[in-house]
Every structure is written in C-alpha cells, then in structure tokens.
A and B are shown apart, each in its own frame.
Chain A
Amino acid sequence: MKDLLILGAGTAGTMMANKLIRHLNKKEWKITIVDKDENHYYQPGFLFVPFGIYQPHEIVKKKSEFIPAGAHFILDEVKNILGEENKVELKSGKVLTYDILIIATGVEPVPEETEGLKGDLWYKDIFDFYSFEGAVKLSEKLRTWEGGKLVIQLNESIIKCPVAPLEFTFLADSFFQERGMRDKVNITYVTPLSGAFTKPKATAMLNGLLEEKQVSVVPDFYVQHVDNERKVLVSYDEREVPFDLLVTVPVNKGDRMIAASELGDDDGLNFVPTDKHTLQSKKFANMFVIGDATNVPASKAGSVAHFEADILLENILHYIKGEPLRAQFDGHSNCFIETGHGKAALIDFNYTTEPLPGKFPIPVVGPMELLKVNRLNHYGKLMFRWVYWHMLLTGIKLPVPTHMSMAGKVTA
C-alpha cells in the first residue's frame, strides 16, 4: 500500500483529494488529508460579509463534508515536513509517511509584518477582511460608522485575490450611497503598485470606474509603519496618508511550517519554490505544490488552484507511471470583479496574455462579456457560491477550459 498525503484541506487540497480518489487504485493507494481547521470558509464570500450582502453563517461549512469517502481526514496541525525521509510530523506527535506529498497549505494574512498595523487601533479603526473574524468585525463597524476618511490599503502586491481590495472599494461606494451618506465618506485606495490597474487593456476599460465612483488613488505607496496616535500611514519614502477607518490587506505569507521545514524560498515569505508549469517542487521529485502555497507568478486565487488541479492530477498520474510530467500549467486565471450597484466585470488571462476584452464562451449559460461591467457578470459571481460548494470542491469538471483560450477575445 502506498501513501499519498495532502497537507491542507482548503480549496486546492480538497479538490485534489476528490480528483485523485477517482483515479487512483484503492487497493494500491491510501489518500490522507490533514488540516488544522475543521471549518471550510467560502473565501470569496469574505468580500460580501462587511456589507451585509452575505451573513457569516452562509460562508462556512464543515471541511469533512467535502472530503471524499475513502480518503482519511486528520484534524491536526502540520509541524514539520522531513523531505529527505518522506515524513511529516504533526503537532499531536503523530508521524505520517508518504510516497507522494501535495502541499496545499495556502497563505495567511500576517498583520504583524507591518509595524503598528496590529496595534491599539486593530479591530477598532483598522480592519482586514481576508479573515472570517476581520470580515465579521468590519461588518459590525460599518453598521454604525458615521463617515470620514475611508482608506483601503495593500501592504504588498503579492496577495491572495489581488482584485478583492478594488472590489471592496467599489462595494463601499455603493454601500454608503445606499445608506444616503456617500457625501460624508472620502474613499482613498493606497497601493504599492503603479496604480489601481496595472495592465494596459484593463486600465483602458476599467480605470474610468475610479473617477465615476470618486475614489482617489495613491500609487507607489509602500507602508513602513502605521502611526496609531495620529492615524496616518507612513511610507518608506516618508509620505503620509491620513485615515479615520483603515481597511488593510496585510502582508500574505505561506504557512510557517514551510519555514520550519526549510522548504520556503530564500526571501522568508514561506512560498514554496515550484516549477511554474509542472507544479513539482524544485527540491523533491515526489513533492508537488498547488494553490496559494507556491511561488509561481500566477494570481493567488481559487480559479488558479482550480486550473492547477487539472494539471496536477495529470502530472501525478504521469509521475506514478514513471512518465515525464507532460501537463503544463499556463497560469490561467479567471474571475468576476464586483463593481457595485449589482454589476460586475469578468476577466480571463494567463502567464503571458493580459486580460482582454471580448466574449467568454460558456456552454449552456452562453457567452459572458469580458472587461465589461454588467448585471449578468454580477449574477455569475453570486451563482458561483453554489458552483463552488457543489461542483468545484467535489472535483466535478466545470465547463471552462483548463488552459486559457483565445476564443472570443479581442486583441486589437
């Protein structure tokens, strides 16, 4: 009996368990999946909780519901991976051995990385919404907030779901307008990148939204510290942005056990060096990495994990047969961008092709429009929650190609 061990039962790990169980011979392979948290959060829903669009209970289910029958689920924390010995140590003291390991431990927001972020104002006037707790606390704050300077700010450019802060900004504009207090709120978007939009076609198509919604953008602003007393953000080049309410995206890091296992990149952010096409670890042939945990230059997002899962399944089957890892991930990503007032845009891109306008063909549902703000895209985003729980996690093939397709896209 051989062991296939998956670390992390989030979006990526759960999908892999469900896909692999259908393809591996049960008499030959035992599949085990480990996670420290019994709850599975529908993370795209974190965006909607602060505005009361989703209630907290609507985005949480038990992880065990999505682990396939026949796979072993262990609720425990991973302490250390011993790659040379093909072993994993758990916090409880238990030691697991493996023939193939899949690392799917994701990333976590680490506010402690930025001086003063998790200080006196944390969860009083400074909130994150990339955690369940932060999203819930922020919804309580927004219910009673009387207005002032709202600042949405990114501490780093490599973050989970890079469009979510922009979506939050657009939804905040709608939210305050609906409450009849938009004139009492100043909205500023602060980013370490060169702008809120950084790719040419997306900038051309969507940049007008910022002006339309009266959002000021402060680009190239990398926060050095947060002055809690004066309520200002201070950058490394000593510029300042004042705030009354700060909605922050903390620095994202991979699981700390990656560092303990000496498997992280040499830059200390605990992302695992991974071949960007095959998804094999660069250190061990029988170790694979998927989703947010990798260091590949794709977005850290569920759709990326979903496309990677198809590639990884193929490559693991190749690996077992001793064949070359022929499946190649192209960096495909696809997502809806909420723009407020019941509308959204859709983007589709990969490592080499930027988001382009045009049509995105979906069988049965019909084509959706790319880089265009409309109601259908918003309904697509809302419908996706059902698709996520009932199809995506359980490994059912969605009617979207694994590799990005140019069909319908307009390049000129």
Chain B
Amino acid sequence: METMTLSKPIETDANGYLKDPNQWTPELAHEIANSLHITLTDKHFEVLNWLRTKHAEGVALSIRKVGNSGIVDIKQFYQLFPGGPLKNAAKIAGIPKPVSCI
C-alpha cells in the first residue's frame, strides 16, 4: 500500500492519487500541488471544487467538460495545471486518476 510523505500519512494508489477523496483538505491540496511545482490560487480552487463536486455526483470527467464548466476555458485550464491538466488537477483535488477502460 502506497502512502504519501506529506504532513500526515494519506493512503494513495501507485500513481499518488488519493484512495479516499474524503481525506482531502485544502492544505493537502497545497502540498500535492507543490510536489507538481504548481502554486494554488483561488482560481485553482474553483476548478478543484468543481471537479470534487462532479466526482461526488458520479460524473465521468474530461478536459472538455472542465472547459465548458464556466470556470475556465481549456487554454486557462492548461495554464493553471500545465502538462496534463486533468490528471494533475485530479491528483490535487484528491479524486481518482482520469483513466480509460484499460
């Protein structure tokens, strides 16, 4: 079982994604973001909260859906979470890694 070496031990999967979204706190988000060299602003948290809400509702998430959320467009989403925006934002939001079926 993997754990994250953060201020308190949190159970994660092999890729560093939280096993239980309920263990997430804004402080934890800052720590995960730091490890990805991202400094979180209010705008980041708006996106993170939207992702967490949608995930709790049982919704499948995608980059385009975030781009149509009314919070950021896709370009801004990339600027906030460079590299792979959805996979990085999901990690910071404490929700599972976006995956395909295999």
- Closest-by-CB residue of A relative to B76 is A236
**Chain A residues near B58 (CB, 8 Å)?**
275-276, 296-297
**Chain A residues near B62 (CB, 8 Å)?**
156-158, 269
Q: 13 A-B residue contacts at CB 8 Å?
A: A156-B64, A194-B87, A194-B97, A206-B102, A219-B84, A222-B63, A222-B85, A251-B64, A266-B69, A267-B64, A273-B59, A335-B101, A347-B102
Interface, chain B (partner A; CB < 8 A): 14, 57-66, 68-70, 74-75, 78, 82-87, 97-102
Q: How far is the CA of A191 from the CA of B79 in the complex (A)?
A: 19
- Listed from nearest, the 7 A-B pairs whose CB atoms lie closest are A202-B102, A267-B65, A198-B99, A276-B58, A297-B60, A220-B84, A268-B68
**Chain B residues near A275 (CB, 8 Å)?**
58
Most buried by A among B61, B83, B99: B99
- Closest-by-CB residue of B relative to A191 is B100
Q: How far is the CA of A224 from the CA of B64 in the complex (A)?
A: 11
Q: How far is the CA of A59 from the CA of B82 in the complex (A)?
A: 43
A162-B101, A202-B102 known; A220-B83 Cβ under 8 A: yes
A194 and B64: CB pair below 8 A?
A: no
Q: How far is the CA of A268 from the CA of B101 in the complex (A)?
A: 23
- Tell me what chain A mostly uses at the interface: helix, strand, loop, or mixed: loop
Q: How far is the CA of A295 from the CA of B99 in the complex (A)?
A: 15
- Closest-by-CB residue of B relative to A345 is B102
Chain A 291-324 interface mask (CB, 8 Å, partner B; 1/0): 0000111110100000000000000000000000
B102 and A269: CB pair below 8 A?
A: no
**Chain B residues near A271 (CB, 8 Å)?**
60
Chain A 313-351 interface mask (CB, 8 Å, partner B; 1/0): 000000000000000000001010100000000010100
**Chain A residues near B97 (CB, 8 Å)?**
194, 198
> Using a CB-CB cutoff of 8 Å, which residues 214-229 of chain A contact chain B?
219-220, 222, 224
Q: How far is the CA of A276 from the CA of B58 in the complex (A)?
A: 6
A265 and B75: CB pair below 8 A?
A: no
In the complex, whether A180 has a CB less than 8 A from a CB of chain B is no
In the complex, whether A85 has a CB less than 8 A from a CB of chain B is no
How many Å from the CB of A319 to the closest CB on chain B? 20
**Chain B residues near A158 (CB, 8 Å)?**
60, 62, 64-65
A113 and B59: CB pair below 8 A?
A: no
A220-B84, A269-B68 known; A192-B63 Cβ under 8 A: yes
**Chain B residues near A222 (CB, 8 Å)?**
63, 74, 78, 85
In the complex, whether A397 has a CB less than 8 A from a CB of chain B is no
How many Å from the CB of A187 to the closest CB on chain B? 19
Q: How far is the CA of A299 from the CA of B60 in the complex (A)?
A: 9
A273 and B64: CB pair below 8 A?
A: no
In the complex, whether A355 has a CB less than 8 A from a CB of chain B is yes
